[in-house]
Chains A and B, each alone.
Chain A
Amino acid sequence: MKAIVIGGGLVGAACADALARQGMRVTVLEPGPVGGGATAAGMGHLVVMDDSPAQLALTARSLELWEALAPALPRQADYHGCGTLWVASDEEELAAVEPKRRAYLAAGREATLLDAAELARAEPNLRPGLAGALRVPGDSVVYAPVVAQFLLERAGATVQREAVAELIDGGVRLESGEMLRADVVVVANGIGAVSLLPDLPLRQRKGHLLITERGPVHIHHQLVELGYLKSAHGNDEDSVAFNVQPRPTGQLLIGSSRQFEQPDREIDWPLLRRMLRRAAEFLPALENISALRIWTGQRCASPDHLPLVGPHPHLDGVFLATGHEGLGITTALGTAELLAAQLFGTPSELLKHDFTPARFERMPEPAHA
């Protein structure tokens, strides 16, 4: 059995690894460097999120899979169990923490409530006057491009540095004109899937990240404001939210921003200023640190904020693994487990939820070559 995986990011690499473990011979098609797209652009925050039961199941299961994988990872993967603090600015946000905590516990993830004083002790650099936080100690961070490379090597996958021009019956046609045949084709190239399957309900959602110099400001957890959820799920307007990660080097990674339909890679300076101002409202000491680099990336968003994992409704042998938006690093491992379950009947609790592309009814047949 032969498989082609389109996309050498973490989702593609995890899928390649899962297919190889079922005995498939896997070819990965990636025109750029392995893990060089959204995989490199993101924060690498492994985070449980509970916007929907399906998302909670997928992220919680993925965290279990990350914990199992961690001992095998190379040191350069920088896997680091720092946990997450969901920071509540006011009593209203703090009131929303308790149902969240119960949902996490129900999903088998540890979560504890910190009051204002406990939060101040846990993270002295946060501004005074915050209401509290939800501490999720099982969350982690990882440097995802290294993991993508590791999984591709573990899979024994052949990586071809080529772009796919189109999907054809039983395989793909490369930009070079070459045809490759396979029993299964997995489309796992993020927003790039749209160029192969224009009818997919996917939109780009641009984000900015900044990394600081090694410096004097130390935090211990990935810090995210509870308002992040409003930003992630709000309307189509540009939004920012406080989301800062401590790197093992002593640097800080600062996010986050969301913009629809901004396909360029340019820095949006007014938005960046908003993002940094938001971050400094929570961590005033950021004012004294220098930025080292700033970059942007493109998330691949679906209408219901869940990925598209499963068979294409109309194309035999074509499976999708895309649309992970800001959770592709976290959920790559769960995605791969789910894909293997769909293809080979291996067990997965994730089959209880509908991640299949067919849930979006409107997917006309693409023209066949």
Chain B
Amino acid sequence: MPERTLAVLTLDGVRVMVPAGTTVLAALQNAGLSPLRRSLSGEARGALCGMGSCYECRAVVDGQTVRTCLTPVQDGQNVRRLMEVNREV
């Protein structure tokens, strides 16, 4: 059995430990961080396609806005949902 490595990330300020090889989207969803975004009129938004086409799962990873469904987790990542970032702006 290969050893399962773990990555430690920060999701909206909370440290979580997730299996390496998963996506940031999976980490967010498993941590119960939903919705991922809010539309301009305040409606809840979250991942729709899970394959990089819909752009609905965007979040800020280490300062860059990315599609979380296409972003593998890496040890030490700092992930923030857009509404958390925009609240500061």
A side interface size, CB within 8 A: 9
Closest CB of chain B to A234's CB: distance in Å? 34
- Chain A residues 171-202 with CB under 8 Å of chain B are none
Partner of B55, one of A216, A249, A250, A292: A292
Q: At the interface, yes or no: A290 with Cβ under 8 Å from chain B?
A: yes
Complex contacts, A250 vs chain B, CB 8 Å: 40
Closest CB of chain A to B55's CB: distance in Å? 7
Q: Are B40 and A249 in contact (CB under 8 A)?
A: yes
Given contacts A292-B55, A293-B55, contact A213 B65 (CB under 8 A): yes
Closest CB of chain A to B48's CB: distance in Å? 15
Cβ-Cβ contact count across A and B, 8 Å cutoff: 15
Closest CB of chain A to B41's CB: distance in Å? 10
Q: Are B55 and A214 in contact (CB under 8 A)?
A: no
Which B residues are within 8 Å of any A CB, using their own CB?
Answer: 40, 55, 58, 64-65, 82, 86, 89
Q: Are A290 and B64 in contact (CB under 8 A)?
A: yes
Bound together, the chains give a CA A214 to CA B55 distance in angstroms of: 14
Q: Are A216 and B89 in contact (CB under 8 A)?
A: yes
Complex contacts, B82 vs chain A, CB 8 Å: 213
Binary contact track A281-306/B, C-beta < 8 Å → 1, others 0: 00000000010110000000000000
Most buried by B among A215, A249, A290, A292: A290
Closest CB of chain A to B38's CB: distance in Å? 10
The 3 A-B residue pairs whose C-beta atoms are closest, nearest first, are A290-B65, A216-B89, A249-B40
Binary contact track A251-294/B, C-beta < 8 Å → 1, others 0: 00000000000000000000000000000000000000010110
Bound together, the chains give a CA A73 to CA B7 distance in angstroms of: 52
Closest CB of chain B to A348's CB: distance in Å? 39
Given contacts A249-B40, A292-B55, A293-B55, contact A214 B86 (CB under 8 A): yes
Closest CB of chain B to A218's CB: distance in Å? 11
Closest CB of chain B to A267's CB: distance in Å? 15
Complex contacts, A215 vs chain B, CB 8 Å: 89
Complex contacts, B58 vs chain A, CB 8 Å: 213, 292
- Chain A residues 14-48 with CB under 8 Å of chain B are none
15 of the cross-chain contacts (CB-CB < 8 Å) are A213-B58, A213-B65, A213-B82, A214-B40, A214-B86, A215-B89, A216-B89, A249-B40, A250-B40, A290-B64, A290-B65, A292-B55, A292-B58, A292-B65, A293-B55
